[in-house]
Chains A and B, each alone.
Chain A
């Protein structure tokens, strides 16, 4: 089959070039399955990362994994290129147990700010030179670092309510300044869940925002580290990005675990996966659209209900396919749980009906939203996110594509059946809230194209070759100390997972790279100097989901 869609490639940076570039600063090699790994001293972090970015073009700090071994702490910087995410390099920074201090990478990559705060919070590594070394997911008064080895979970903890400052309390009114402090959330309709944004206002203008997250930190990484590879981990990805992106998230785990255990997935299963994942993407974008309309219009009656009407159809299709409306648990390592439901013709016809009706519905949304003057006044040229800023903060997905960054892992780092299908990566150059909405609307149409082609393939697939699962051992025990980082294109962007195996049937370290986490971190850049209604619109256009931000 021909590849219809070619990713833009640049000249590959070879391992020799990398070795030459890092030179003496590499004290050892620690290769991962996905990338060459260089061990460096904690003092060289900024140096090496800056060189990799400026000399070799690794401009995307995709993830930072922190972990504790019996004898040391380790921070791993997973780096990629926005132009070609298949070129990867891992920078491994070990620190001692007694003094876990490592140089901060924040001056080189802004996105390291939140990465390192999380690493400090959960594992307990200090980053020297970090501008804001606070906890990020757990309450300020928390004792201990829960993902370190000696953490005792049964110890009591005290959590305060005082961090929710009251803006009209006398001590918050400063006679000298004319700014006002405002809490948005954690229980607020515009925050899409339990997000708390500390906002400083000058009149109606936003001077500063500080997102306070962690109100839904439900220990996803710990849960995955306690589960066995084969079946016990798969239900959790559904609950990271729970806006019916279930299959997209499951694919993230399936991809990384299949790479780790070297499992080949049958082509037929890949087609079903691709179809299911794109249905999820449509459902997810519909909800993003509906809630965004709710945010900017306060419109509970029209667009929101329309979006839910269309989502219900997809959820019915997905329920027929997987047996669940929201938490599908349909992927298995090496394939999917079962074939299409019988009678197949009915399922296919039902899905085709949905696809046939979709263009008319998209027109309806365009009439209601994107061509609507009021909507355009609210969205055009608000919440500007320049591509350079987006890259610095590690933004991916529709947020990056709305800023003209042509980056989509489905095409650039192909998996599943995407490379054999005909579709386009959608980008918009507006960099504003409006572009991000347009990207999502157009992606819905591209997803529909993909589903259409998958249905054609499924229909024609010979009956005796419909293999939905590869032969996978009952218990998976990957070789000890195998490390792999893999990402897929989730509904919100690059959803990556790092796994280190420790020789047992459970992962030694399971780290989730959440797209929403980084998309949210850029909020402060987007809203400074804007009006407060634009803050709400910008937050809505980022389309965050707190389950994935906090994990």
Chain B
């Protein structure tokens, strides 16, 4: 591009005057008539708050955690692969390490043995972090809800921002869920991080009952454990 001003502005000031009038002229909302606007005149500029800008950036550049659990991960892989190509939405590079990721898609059934592990992976992700629950199993346990070993939804352990229902959801549904998450991030919304029913605790801190006393010889007091109260699960 040359350094010459654009022709129409060089020849006449009318277009820029029109634009300025349209932006800060009579009868318009006063809130937009800032000193900055007067100084800039017709030149386009954007006013934003820094955190809004950050959220916009965040929403459009999401690093997913490469996290395959069960059936839904096959559809999740389809979502990453050609045809559906979630990269189009700025969310396409799966990260193998939780420390580099900021979105975790939970694609599958959480069972008792995996619960503590998922919590640990979630804890390792840097803030701000977001979770998309993929499939019925992460909502309620899905078809396996009555199983003796199945956690009744990922939300028993970690906060979930977006639930994508289906068994499994189609890739289109997951794309929609991710877009919804981006929308929420841009609007600075996220699920509050609260204490979940199942937390990692030190074994010594568990309330003493029959089960804890029985296991006392096997588990060290400092060991992290997760205690499942199946009877209280919804």
Contact = CB atoms under 8 A, between A and B. Distances in A.
Interface of A: 138-143, 146, 151, 153-162, 164, 186-189, 192-194, 214-220, 222-223, 226, 235-236, 239, 242-244, 287, 304-305, 308-309, 311-312, 315, 325-327, 546-547
Contacts of A139: 112-113
A242 B231 contact: no
Nearest to A305: B82
Contacts of A162: 219-220, 223-224
B229 A216 contact: no
Contacts of B115: 159
Contact of B116 (A140, A161, A188, A243): A161
B231 A156 contact: yes
A153 B150 CA distance: 11
B114 A194 contact: yes
Given A141-B225, A143-B214, A239-B143, 20 more contacts: A141-B218, A155-B211, A156-B230, A161-B200, A162-B219, A187-B98, A187-B117, A193-B68, A194-B114, A216-B109, A219-B146, A219-B150, A222-B147, A223-B143, A223-B144, A236-B143, A242-B70, A305-B81, A325-B170, A326-B168
B227 interface: yes
A244 B218 CA distance: 41
Contact of B223 (A156, A157, A160): A160
Contacts of B54: none
A154 B71 contact: no
A367 B95 CA distance: 29
Q: How large is the interface on B (under 10, 10 to 19, 20 to 34, 35 or more residues)?
A: 35 or more
Contacts of A546: 70
Nearest to B212: A158
Contact of B147 (A140, A155, A218, A327): A218
B226 A138 contact: no
Interface stretch (B25-33, B72-80, B177-185): B72-80
Contacts of B203: 158, 160
B114 A160 contact: no
B83 A312 contact: yes
Contacts of B200: 161
Interface in B121-175: 121, 137, 143-144, 146-150, 167-168, 170
Contact of A287 (B74, B137, B148): B74
Contacts of A154: 230-231
Interface of B: 66-71, 73-75, 77-78, 81-83, 96, 98, 108-109, 111-117, 120-121, 137, 143-144, 146-150, 167-168, 170, 200, 203, 206, 211-212, 214-215, 218-220, 223-231
A244 B74 CA distance: 8
Contacts of B109: 216, 218
A219 B120 contact: no
A187 B111 CA distance: 14
B148 A309 contact: no
30 contacts: A143-B211, A143-B214, A146-B148, A151-B148, A156-B227, A158-B203, A158-B227, A158-B228, A159-B112, A160-B225, A162-B220, A162-B223, A189-B96, A194-B117, A214-B113, A216-B69, A216-B70, A217-B111, A218-B147, A219-B144, A222-B148, A223-B143, A226-B146, A239-B71, A308-B77, A309-B83, A312-B82, A325-B75, A546-B70, A547-B70
A186 B114 contact: yes
A305 B80 CA distance: 9
